[in-house]
């Protein structure tokens, strides 16, 4: 490891969150993780930091400056460092970090694995997208595909020979999957032929792997309309021969690369299926293999989507985090201006407004990391907790937290990246520094995997009412437990935790009341029209809870690291939590502004 | 004019603000504007729209994609459309829009001129920066230079033959001008020779004009230390012969171009003065001519800086405004998803959350435009009002509003650009659409001409306490007048204006109390540590005031335009104004978080 602290992520914070706060070593008693130890967890974290630092971070700027392009022969040209980094990544076996041993996996807890993988997202989000998509694809196939499909497609993916994609959106259907028109025509041999266009497909074409495995949503003619008629298909770029060798080119072709504001190392593509450019076995149509049952495609995709959404939140967090660390380093070394008392010139961290920006960024990125790892720990709990109740509760909490875990970091860690630019002043606006790229990369996250507006509808329209409100109730109970601990601990001289607990209790009580008001208002359109205000109010309250929980966990430990945790919590309670009340006021009065305003007045 | 409404700016809104709200035709009675008429104002607005549409907007994306570069011969290469647009601009005489007739100016009111010039900022902020900097430079020389300097430098600038810059910052001194080290050594002939490096100099080098006139801050050896030892010099790129022809190359050279996130059409440079690359009259040192008196440079620069800050605010507004218009157009035409009632597919403007984003953007950009033009009207008032009292009051208001007019639009119109990306979804993240560039261009505005953190210190540390608090008192009185009119008008069936007036009154009363609390707390460092919260609270209140004033001015007029004004005001009072209270709470309790947190805990 480097002598000076990394500017990619904070290993100290990861260790705190995993070992001191979440106590992941408690998982070692469970059979799935029995082969592991605190030592193996640490070794994988070490490996990730080293590989991210040495192979991913160094080409992050170059990949941004050297956008993917299509060569005259139709292939995609990327800088060679991307492929080299990914081969090194594949060799470590990290592609299968959380997978079963039977698939060659490490059986790492998801909580540890997400911390491990965050190093790559923070070091180079564009390059890391390829294995991340591949892991999600493999996960989905293991869960819903046949044994043969797993053997055929998953094993080469986990070995890094094939990469995977998720192909949902179409040019006319992004957020609205009900309107997809790609069709899959059944063939006599049990396969399908697909015809249609897919838009925004990340990793949709490249020469980084021997093959690309697309998981494609399409409709079989004659099926139910809307989302109920969607099925999922494996559509490889290159078909395999009966003996499993690379064979004929499938009829799926790159129709264009999207030129993006950021995230440029990741190709983002328009793909044409079944336009007859290639004619497998002599006829047009992209050969596809049904995954699971007909018409269940959307639910399969969503089982993957929930984890993907937490992954997006963690990716946003990683980008925000590295931006914060860069800004902190700059603020400590850049000398400029005087203190109010006239001393100076001083390092800019001496200026209270620079500290405001740093503390805001710190409270966002460390709060978001806590949320992401908490959700990852819930995935572990859902899969391996010893009691049925604990597994069910973890599942419920995960459901209700997923839209927050996607939207909150993608809003506020982006804000952290914006603050990192501001802290750098004019230098932050130039490409000589790194922070403007982090901002541009992170700007994708509020958009993809369901825009933040969609997350708000998911939270208030689906997750909160589900199971008679059990998910939200459980969440507020968990918050209540933290409040109890904080209250029992009394107040500290420095302004302390009983005070935070009281403020958090007010927010929690209000959320419970406001939720009841909304759910009983009798007008779904009105209720949902302000869903974003609801998501933001609940999101800030959840992060305030996690900050209180973190400082309780820090106890009375001394030293800069723990003082930093306490300072960020103090900032969040002073500057951020109070903002929820204006939003709850708006929700309480069932504000009709958005619903009433006609389009012509917008 | 185009058949469909422009996506650059809204002429309808400009007409409303100028003629219905600010009543600029009332200025025609004043001698300075006697040659003008509503007709001449309209003609200049027409001209600006046409030229901005035909010559500035078309190369905006190309200039972004084709960054300035240095050719092997050391000259700067820009796309040719920039020079062509600027020659067309210079021919119109708009460079001298507000200048005296004696300098070839149009003597347009500043309010009208700012509306005229906003067309160019919205169409292509990078290209328009060259004449904007030139106008600011000329203005400063007219105010503080000698008659000879005006004749020598200003006239060619207003004719578009020479362009101007402001050269303040240095690599080690951005916000902190006290620390500049460029020195100016007096010569026997009354000229000076300058030695030093200037950083972030926009328009600092190019081949667009025959010559470049730098206004440079430097220190004469032996003068007072800090800001009191700063003097201002004219330093031309090319020296003039005695007969006024272009002569020898001065010893100021381009040392590098900054590669920026946006605003790319404008070269941004590091300039070296006096490194002996050129040797005017045989010796090294950049020849400079003192402007005004020795050691008064900073105050001269600040007389220009205040107008520059309002200009930055208007530039931010223009970029936010064009982003909003693009998003509105997209939201009306892009079909996606269903309404909550199940109808659809529908245009996305039918979704309440899209309307939230549009109304937010509209309330920001139209609110900011009102603020910018209100300040411009104060400039007119300060210069031409018939009573001394009116002129003094305009000056006071202008002083107190300047930091807000810079910071608020550069924060919230940037937020409007961010929303415009989000409304476009994935498409907004691509360079096939325009909105991501608007965001990148606008990201500069919270940084330059004094960061927003500096504006907060200026407001709370200087402008509010000045003249015994007279500026703020006057501002709050003006707000009070609007409240009175709104209250007298009673409440409207639709939830109306007496309600807004009451909410605004609460905010105004709180600001008065909070200000007293801060100014009497006896701890300047503590007071100023939360200056950003103060700036933001006062800023939102000022914009709420201008929204109430706008809807009062709209009266009971019907039609989409006026309904839009009412809808945006309703949004601002429902969603935005309430956010000030959490900030005022923090200020009221003299929150010590920022002051107390040591650097190691950030």
Whether A349 has its CB under 8 Å from any CB of chain B: the answer is yes
Q: What is the pLDDT of residue B338?
A: 86
> CA geometry: angle at A109 spanning A107 and A114, to 5°?
115
Shortest CB distance from B525 goes to which of A178, A340, A422? A340
Q: Are residues B429 and A436, on separate chains, in Cβ contact within 8 Å?
A: no
Q: What is the pLDDT of residue B1?
A: 41
Q: Are residues A579 and B575, on separate chains, in Cβ contact within 8 Å?
A: no
Q: Are residues B582 and A578, on separate chains, in Cβ contact within 8 Å?
A: yes
- A to B CB pairs, distance under 8 Å: 252
Q: What is the pLDDT of residue B212?
A: 98
Question: 10 Å Cβ neighbour count for A310?
Answer: 28
Shortest CB distance from A567 goes to which of B335, B421, B601? B601
Is residue B1 one of the residues assigned to a domain? no
Report the distance separating Cα A92 and Cα A87, nearest Å.
9
Whether B343 has its CB under 8 Å from any CB of chain A: the answer is no
Whether A582 has its CB under 8 Å from any CB of chain B: the answer is yes
Mean of pLDDT values over A397-403:
97
pLDDT in tens, B89-140: 999 999 999 999 999 999 999 999 999 999 999 999 999 999 999 999 999 9
Mean of pLDDT values over B574-593:
98
Q: Are residues B586 and A578, on separate chains, in Cβ contact within 8 Å?
A: yes
Same domain, A114 and A148: yes
Q: Are residues A331 and B574, on separate chains, in Cβ contact within 8 Å?
A: no
Question: What are the distances in angstroms from CA A452 to CA A406, B336, B422, B425?
Answer: 8, 16, 9, 10
Residue A453 scores a pLDDT above 70: yes
Instruction: Please name the residue that has the structure tokens 């041999």.
Output: A189
pLDDT in tens, A571-582: 999 999 999 999
pLDDT in tens, A54-63: 999 999 999 9
A270: three-class secondary structure by DSSP: strand
Ranking A434-443, B53-62, B251-260, B331-340 by mean pLDDT, the lowest is: B331-340
- What one-character-per-residue DSSP string does A435-465 give? HHHHHHHHTTTTTSSS-HHHHHHHIIIIITT
Q: What is the pLDDT of residue B490?
A: 67
Do B440 and A443 meet the contact criterion of CB atoms below 8 Å apart?
no
Residue A429 scores a pLDDT above 80: yes
Shortest CB distance from B175 goes to which of A336, A421, A601? A336
Same domain, A394 and A461: no
Same domain, B105 and B244: yes
Question: 10 Å Cβ neighbour count for A29?
Answer: 10
Q: CA torsion, points B446, A426, B434, A256, in degrees to nearest 10? A: -140
Same domain, B84 and B132: yes
The token pair that represents B405 in the structure block: 């007019």
Q: What is the pLDDT of residue A488?
A: 86
Whether B260 has its CB under 8 Å from any CB of chain A: the answer is yes
Shortest CB distance from A426 goes to which of B174, B331, B347? B174
Report the predicted TM-score, pTM, of the whole model to 2 decimal places. Answer: 0.97
In sequence order, the 6+-apart residues with CB closer than 8 A to the CB of A571 are A356, A359, A360, A362, A363, B593, B597
Whether B403 has its CB under 8 Å from any CB of chain A: the answer is no
Instruction: Please name the residue that has the structure tokens 């007072």.
Output: B224
Half-sphere exposure of A87 (CA within 13 A, CB side): 9
The token pair that represents A237 in the structure block: 């770029």
Q: How confident is the model at residue A176 (pLDDT cuts 50, 70, 90)?
A: confident
Whether B11 has its CB under 8 Å from any CB of chain A: the answer is no
Residue B343 scores a pLDDT above 80: no
Q: How confident is the model at residue A398 (pLDDT cuts 50, 70, 90)?
A: very high
Same domain, A569 and A599: yes
Percentages helix, strand, coil for chain A (3-state, rounded to 5) are 60, 10, 25
Residue A1 scores a pLDDT above 50: no
Same domain, B436 and B545: no
Mean of pLDDT values over A495-501:
84
Same domain, A281 and A389: no
Residue A529: closest C-alpha in chain B: B352
Domain boundary among A295, A310, A341: A295
Whether A601 has its CB under 8 Å from any CB of chain B: the answer is yes
Residue A417 scores a pLDDT above 90: yes
If you average pLDDT over every residue of chain A, what do you get?
A: 95
- Of the candidates A295, A463, A178, the one whose C-alpha atom is nearest the C-alpha of residue B339 is A178
Number of domains composing chain A: 3
Residue A3 scores a pLDDT above 70: no
Residue A371 scores a pLDDT above 60: yes
Q: Are residues B258 and A430, on separate chains, in Cβ contact within 8 Å?
A: yes
Q: Where do the DSSP E strands lie in B182-329?
A: 183-186, 192-202, 211-219, 230-236, 238-240, 246-249, 252-257, 268-273, 286-291
A211 bridge partner residues: A162
Shortest CB distance from B336 goes to which of A176, A336, A350? A176
Q: Are residues A571 and B593, on separate chains, in Cβ contact within 8 Å?
A: yes
Do A442 and A450 meet the contact criterion of CB atoms below 8 Å apart?
no
Whether A325 has its CB under 8 Å from any CB of chain B: the answer is no
Interface of B with A in 364-383 (CB under 8 A): none
The token pair that represents B181 in the structure block: 């080290």
The whole domain housing A71 covers 11-295
Q: What is the pLDDT of residue A490?
A: 67
Domain boundary among A248, A269, A295: A295
Same domain, B412 and B330: yes
Report the distance separating Cα A92 and Cα A408, nearest Å.
32
Q: Are residues A560 and B600, on separate chains, in Cβ contact within 8 Å?
A: yes
Is residue B3 one of the residues assigned to a domain? no
Is residue B38 one of the residues assigned to a domain? yes
Report the distance separating Cα A89 and Cα A464, nearest Å.
39
Please report how the helices B531-554 and B560-571 are oriented relative to each other, as an axis angle in degrees rounded to 10: 150
Whether A426 has its CB under 8 Å from any CB of chain B: the answer is yes
Catalytic center residues of B: 449
pLDDT in tens, A298-357: 999 888 777 889 999 999 999 999 999 999 999 999 998 888 777 778 999 999 999 999
**Residue spans of alpha helices (H) in B168-217:** none
Kindly report the nearest CA distance between residue A596 and chain B, in angstroms.
9
Q: Are residues A426 and B200, on separate chains, in Cβ contact within 8 Å?
A: yes
**CATH for B36:** 2.40.110.20
Q: Are residues B560 and A600, on separate chains, in Cβ contact within 8 Å?
A: yes
pLDDT in tens, A118-146: 999 999 999 999 999 999 999 999 999 99
**CATH for B424:** 1.20.140.10
Is residue A312 one of the residues assigned to a domain? yes
Q: What is the pLDDT of residue B176?
A: 86
DSSP for residue B59: G
Is residue A5 one of the residues assigned to a domain? no
Whether A178 has its CB under 8 Å from any CB of chain B: the answer is yes
Q: HEC profile for B394-450? A: HHHHHHHHHHHHHHHHHHHHHHHHHHHHHHHHHHHHECCCCHHHHHHHHCCCCCCCC
Whether A343 has its CB under 8 Å from any CB of chain B: the answer is no
Residue B56 scores a pLDDT above 50: yes
Shortest CB distance from A425 goes to which of B174, B432, B602? B174
Mean of pLDDT values over B362-375:
98
Q: Are residues A259 and B431, on separate chains, in Cβ contact within 8 Å?
A: yes
Q: What is the pLDDT of residue B494?
A: 54
Tell me the percentage of chain A whose pLDDT exceeds 90.
Answer: 93
Is residue A3 one of the residues assigned to a domain? no
Interface test mutation site (partner A, options B593, B598, B600, max chain A beta carbons within 10 A): B593
Ranking A9-18, A431-440, B493-502 by mean pLDDT, the lowest is: B493-502
Residue B414: closest C-alpha in chain A: A418
pLDDT in tens, B523-553: 999 999 999 999 999 999 999 999 999 999 9
Same domain, B401 and B496: no
Q: How confident is the model at residue B489 (pLDDT cuts 50, 70, 90)?
A: confident
Q: What is the pLDDT of residue B302?
A: 85
Shortest CB distance from B355 goes to which of A338, A582, A597? A597
Same domain, B456 and B441: no
A233: three-class secondary structure by DSSP: strand
Do B596 and B564 meet the contact criterion of CB atoms below 8 Å apart?
no
Report the distance separating Cα A561 and Cα A99, nearest Å.
33
If you average pLDDT over every residue of chain B, what do you get?
A: 95
Whether A359 has its CB under 8 Å from any CB of chain B: the answer is yes
Same domain, A339 and A262: no
Q: Is A449 a catalytic residue?
A: yes
> CA geometry: angle at B450 spanning B446 and B451, to 5°?
40
Same domain, A310 and A289: no
Q: What is the pLDDT of residue A492?
A: 63
Residue A375 scores a pLDDT above 70: yes
Is residue A2 one of the residues assigned to a domain? no
In sequence order, the 6+-apart residues with CB closer than 8 A to the CB of B385 are B391, B394
Domain boundary among B269, B295, B321: B295
Is residue B227 one of the residues assigned to a domain? yes
pLDDT in tens, B7-31: 999 999 999 999 999 999 999 999 9
């Amino acid at each position: 490891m480097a002598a000076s602290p990394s500017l990619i992520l904070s290993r100290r914070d990861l260790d705190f969150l995993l070992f001191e706060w979440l106590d992941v070593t408690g998982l070692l008693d469970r059979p799935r993780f029995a082969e592991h130890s605190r030592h193996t967890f640490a070794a994988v974290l070490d490996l990730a930091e080293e590989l991210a630092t040495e192979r991913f971070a160094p080409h992050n700027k170059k990949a941004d400056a050297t956008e993917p392009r299509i060569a005259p022969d139709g292939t995609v040209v990327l800088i060679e460092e991307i492929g080299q980094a990914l081969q090194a990544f594949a060799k470590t076996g990290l592609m299968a970090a959380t997978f079963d041993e039977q698939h060659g996996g490490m059986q790492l807890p998801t909580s540890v694995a997400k911390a491990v993988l965050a190093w790559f997202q923070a070091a180079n989000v564009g390059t890391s997208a390829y294995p991340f998509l591949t892991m999600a694809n493999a996960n989905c196939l293991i869960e819903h595909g046949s044994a043969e499909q797993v053997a055929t497609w998953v094993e080469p993916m986990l070995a890094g020979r094939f990469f995977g994609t998720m192909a949902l959106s179409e040019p006319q259907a992004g957020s609205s999957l009900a309107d997809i028109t790609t069709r899959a025509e059944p063939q006599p041999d049990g396969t399908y032929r697909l015809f249609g266009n897919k838009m925004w497909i990340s990793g949709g074409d490249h020469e980084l792997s021997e093959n690309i495995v697309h998981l494609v949503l399409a409709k079989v003619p004659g099926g139910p309309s809307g989302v109920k008629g969607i099925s999922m298909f494996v559509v490889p770029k290159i078909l395999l021969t009966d003996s499993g060798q690379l064979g004929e080119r499938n009829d799926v072709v790159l129709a264009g690369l999207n030129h993006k504001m950021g995230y440029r190392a990741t190709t983002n593509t328009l793909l044409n299926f079944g336009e007859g450019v290639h004619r497998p076995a002599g006829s047009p149509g992209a050969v596809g293999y049904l995954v699971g049952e007909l018409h269940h495609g959307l639910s399969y995709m969503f089982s993957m989507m929930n984890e993907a959404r937490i992954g997006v939140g963690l990716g946003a967090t990683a980008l925000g985090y590295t931006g914060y660390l860069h800004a902190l380093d700059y603020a400590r070394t850049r000398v400029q201006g005087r203190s109010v008392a006239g001393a100076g010139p001083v390092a800019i961290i001496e200026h209270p407004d620079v500290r405001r920006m740093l503390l805001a960024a710190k409270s966002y990125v460390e709060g978001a990391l806590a949320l992401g790892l908490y959700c990852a720990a819930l995935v572990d709990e859902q899969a391996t907790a010893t009691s049925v109740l604990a597994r069910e509760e973890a599942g419920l909490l995960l459901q209700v937290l997923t839209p927050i875990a996607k939207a909150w970091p993608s809003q506020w860690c982006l804000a952290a990246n914006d603050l990192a630019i501001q802290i750098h002043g004019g230098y932050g606006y130039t490409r000589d520094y790194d922070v403007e790229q982090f901002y541009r990369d992170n700007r994708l996250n509020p958009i993809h995997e369901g825009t933040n507006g969609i997350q708000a509808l998911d939270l208030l329209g689906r997750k909160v009412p589900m199971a008679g409100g059990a998910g939200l109730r459980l969440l507020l109970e968990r918050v209540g437990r933290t409040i109890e601990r904080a209250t029992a601990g009394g107040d500290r001289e420095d302004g302390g935790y009983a005070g935070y607990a009281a403020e958090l209790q007010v927010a929690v009580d209000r959320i419970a009341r406001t939720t009841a008001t909304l759910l009983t208002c009798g007008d779904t359109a009105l209720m949902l029209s302000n869903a974003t205000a609801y998501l933001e109010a609940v999101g800030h309250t959840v992060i305030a809870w996690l900050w209180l929980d973190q400082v309780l966990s820090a106890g009375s430990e001394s030293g800069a690291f723990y003082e930093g945790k306490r300072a960020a919590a103090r900032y969040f309670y002073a500057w951020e939590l109070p903002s929820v009340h204006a939003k709850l006021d708006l929700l309480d009065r069932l504000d009709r502004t958005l619903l009433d305003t006609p389009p012509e007045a917008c």
